[in-house]
């Protein structure tokens, strides 16, 4: 059986064997926030050779519904606040055992921008992580990677809060007192800002950092370049032009911002693309719709974050 037939069969099997996956709370951008990487309105070139047929609305079904139920907290319309992880270690193991194999290499963590976080992880204590962003950040946190982080650092007690909006970049979070109302009172120790909806607005990210630090001067940040969207990870030239990519101007500017503001920076784009390309499969086998990750895609993001923060590099 040739490789093309194997890939087609895999794609069909993925659709047939799975049961319904609850949609991400912040799955789609609002119309005013839609752009070519954050909306199913412009699905991109990957559709042309895709072995997967996505529904016109919603997402493909999946057998891996998150098995830990987390209550949502009150937030304004179109914004969502909830705790993570939403998956048990047992479920994460099951997904990773079943997902297509691939390879990735993550830049070594030097901890210079996360000294306090590193001290808590290695010596023990309480660590409150808060993730801020869009539906891609939502998917990243739903992967359950913080559960794997707690497993890697058993002396630390990790609490995680997710604050997301479809199409939500820092251009939204800096406005209307959202930082003061929804972030400051939760007193995070570490804030993760990522996703594909920042619109190259480095100044907005900087402003959110400053707003948080004004009231929480010890808080640390890690800033991550984006993943998923409709840009084909098999096409390096396309990724180098994508507005959210670590290999694009945005990634270079985000890395510069991280250095200027003493934050950590993580290029998630490159290892994400590396994993998918090395799998030898069509990227859509890691997607639940034309923009967002399915459980296999989520676990690529988990693997990236754990590789970056793993104890072996301390």
pLDDT in tens, 84-96: 999 999 999 999 9
Q: Which residues contact 128 (CB under 8 A, 6 or more apart)?
A: 158, 159, 160, 161, 186, 187, 188, 189, 190
Distances (CA, A) of 153 to 122, 140, 308: 7, 20, 14
User: What's residue 275's pLDDT?
Assistant: 98
CATH among 1.10.10.10, 1.10.3720.10, 3.40.50.1110, 3.20.20.140 for 3-313: 3.40.50.1110
The pLDDT of residue 38: 52
Question: CB of 66 within 8 A of CB of 252?
Answer: no
The predicted structure's pLDDT at residue 74: 87
Question: What is the Cα–Cα distance from 14 to 200, expressed in whole angstroms?
Answer: 35
pLDDT tens digit sequence for 175-192? 999 999 999 999 999 999
Where do the structural domains in the chain lie, given as residue ranges?
Answer: 3-313
pLDDT value at position 12?
A: 39
Instruction: Enter the tokens of residue 263.
Output: 């934050």
Which residue numbers in the chain have pLDDT < 50?
A: 1-23, 29, 41, 313-314
* One-character DSSP codes across 244-256: T-TTSHHHHHHHH
Which token pair is 95? 């997904």
Give how far Cα 41 sits from Cα of 33, 190, 198, 240, 255, Å: 12, 34, 19, 22, 30
* Phi, psi (rounded to 5 degrees) for 285: -75, -5
Kind of pairing between the strands at 156-165 and 220-224: unpaired
Distance CA 3, CA 80 (A): 42
| One-character DSSP codes across 105-154 | --PPP--TT-HHHHHHHHH-EEEEEEEEESHHHHHHHHTTHHHHHHHH-T
């Amino acid at each position: 059986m040739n490789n093309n037939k194997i890939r087609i069969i895999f794609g069909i099997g993925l659709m047939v064997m799975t049961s319904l996956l609850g949609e991400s709370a912040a799955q789609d951008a609002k119309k005013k926030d839609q752009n070519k990487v954050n909306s199913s309105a412009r699905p991109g070139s990957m559709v042309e050779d895709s072995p997967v047929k996505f529904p016109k609305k919603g997402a493909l079904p999946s057998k891996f519904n998150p098995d830990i139920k987390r209550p949502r907290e009150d937030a304004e319309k179109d914004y969502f606040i909830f705790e993570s992880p939403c998956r048990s270690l047992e479920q994460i193991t099951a997904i990773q055992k079943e997902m297509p194999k691939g390879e990735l290499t993550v830049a070594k963590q030097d901890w210079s921008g996360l000294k306090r976080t590193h001290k808590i992880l290695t010596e023990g204590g309480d660590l409150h992580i808060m993730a801020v962003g869009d539906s891609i950040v939502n998917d990243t946190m739903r992967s359950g990677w913080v559960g794997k982080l707690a497993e890697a650092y058993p002396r630390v007690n990790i609490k995680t809060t997710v604050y997301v909006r479809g199409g939500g970049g820092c251009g939204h979070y800096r406005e209307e007192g959202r930082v003061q109302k929804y972030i400051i009172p939760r007193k995070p120790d570490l804030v993760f800002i990522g996703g594909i909806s920042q619109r190259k607005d480095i100044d907005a990210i900087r402003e959110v950092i400053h707003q948080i630090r004004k009231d929480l001067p010890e808080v640390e940040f890690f800033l991550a370049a984006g993943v998923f969207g409709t840009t084909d990870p098999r096409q390096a030239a396309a990724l180098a032009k994508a507005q959210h990519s670590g290999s694009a101007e945005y990634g270079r500017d985000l890395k510069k911002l991280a250095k200027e503001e003493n934050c950590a920076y993580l290029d998630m784009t490159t290892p994400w693309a590396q994993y998918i390309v090395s799998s030898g499969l069509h990227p859509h086998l890691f997607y639940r719709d034309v923009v967002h990750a399915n459980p296999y895609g989520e676990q690529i993001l988990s693997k990236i974050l754990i590789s970056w923060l793993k104890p072996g590099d301390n």
